[in-house]
């Protein structure tokens, strides 16, 4: 079904084509080459006409051209100096694993402590050694094996027990053995060096 010039949509169609023509003229006027001459387009009832003609190329001033000898010297100097950038040599890697380089890590030096009070050592020497055992088997160990028997804290290890005995009773322990009793307490057998007598130490402590 064709559209007639006198149909119900004829006015709308004419308005639409007028808008398209004006938009095209504006587009051409804005995007014209500045070096070219431009004759504004004129609008006819049926089509648009216009022409763009090229101007003569701009003349190049021959005086601006450099001296051939100077140009040759400049080129020779550039060739002698070598390339302006040097290609970085490729690093040969002999391992399939890649590790990040070690960087400088300074020690922490805070301006103020981040906690209000430093933590207290809850496992001191008095806490480690609770009390000495005075049972018959413990007395036999003192007489026969030069060994003292203590009940100690569960968290104490052999090194801490050895240090606690040295600090509190001023004696040197040769060896420390520990075990957990069925009642859940830890028992420590502290064997003294030959320089110390377990009986004398027991009297000094007040076990016997």
| Residue 30 pLDDT > 80 | no
21-35, 66-80, 158-172: which has the minimum mean pLDDT? 21-35
Query: What is the number of residues in the chain?
Result: 208
Cβ atoms of 175 and 191 within 8 Å: the answer is: yes
Task: Using the structure block, give the residue that is written with the tokens 């009986």.
Answer: 199
User: Average pLDDT, whole number, for the chain?
Assistant: 80
pLDDT at 160: 96
Is 143 a member of any domain? yes
Q: Is 63 among the domain residues?
A: no
pLDDT of amino acid 180: 97
Report the CATH number that the domain containing residue 184 is assigned in CATH.
3.30.70.330
Kindly state whether residue 103 falls inside one of the protein's structural domains. no
Lowest-confidence pick of 7-11, 23-27, 151-155, 178-182? 7-11
Any domain includes 61? no
DSSP per residue, the chain: -PPPTTSTTHHHHHHHHHHHHHHHHHHHHHSS-TTSEEEEEEE-SS-EEEEEEPPPPPPPPGGGSPPHHHHHHHHHHHHHH--SSPPPPPPP---S---PPP---PPP--SS-SSSSPPP-SS-HHHHEEEE--SHHHHHHHHHH-EEEEEE-TT--HHHHHHHHHHHH---EEEEEEEE-TTS-EEEEEEEPTTS-HHHHHHHHT--
**Would you state the pLDDT for residue 52?**
46
Task: Tally Cβ neighbours within 10 Å of residue 133.
Answer: 17
Whether 179 is in a domain gets the answer yes
Total structural domains within the chain: 2
In terms of pTM, does the model score above 0.75? no
Contact 149, 138 (CB under 8 A): yes
116 in any annotated domain: no
Q: What is the average pLDDT across 30-45?
A: 50
193 vs 172: CA distance, rounded Å: 6
What average pLDDT does range 81-102 have in this prediction? 85
Give the C-alpha separation, 43 to 55, whole Å: 25
pLDDT value at residue 50:
46
- Per-residue model confidence as pLDDT tens digits over 136-149: 999 999 999 999 99
Residue 156 to residue 111: CA distance in whole angstroms: 34
Domain assignment present for residue 113? The answer is: no
CA atoms within 13 A on the CB side of 24: 13
Cα-based angle 203, 207, 208 (whole degrees, multiple of 5): 60
What number is the average pLDDT over the span 74-103? Answer: 85
Per-residue model confidence as pLDDT tens digits over 64-86: 566 888 888 888 888 887 766 67
| 41 located within any domain | yes
Residue span of the structural domain in which 153 resides: 125-205
């Amino acid at each position: 079904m064709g559209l007639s010039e006198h149909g119900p949509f004829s006015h709308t169609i004419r308005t639409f084509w007028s808008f398209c023509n004006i938009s095209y003229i504006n587009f051409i006027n804005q995007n014209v080459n500045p070096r070219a001459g431009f004759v504004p387009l004129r609008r006819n009832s049926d089509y648009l006409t216009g022409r763009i003609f090229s101007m003569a190329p701009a003349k190049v001033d021959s005086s601006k051209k450099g001296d051939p000898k100077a140009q040759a010297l400049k080129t020779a100097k550039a060739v002698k100096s070598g390339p302006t950038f040097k290609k970085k040599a490729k690093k040969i890697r002999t391992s399939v694993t890649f590790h990040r380089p070690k960087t400088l890590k300074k020690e922490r030096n805070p301006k103020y402590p981040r906690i209000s009070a430093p933590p207290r050592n809850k496992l001191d020497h008095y806490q480690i050694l609770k009390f000495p055992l005075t049972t018959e088997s413990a007395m036999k160990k003192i007489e026969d094996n030069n060994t003292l028997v203590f009940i100690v804290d569960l968290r104490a290890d052999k090194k801490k027990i050895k240090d606690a005995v040295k600090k509190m009773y001023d004696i040197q322990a040769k060896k420390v053995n520990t075990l957990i009793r069925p009642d859940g307490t830890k028992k420590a057998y502290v064997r003294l060096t030959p320089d110390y007598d377990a009986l004398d130490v027991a009297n000094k402590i007040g076990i016997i």
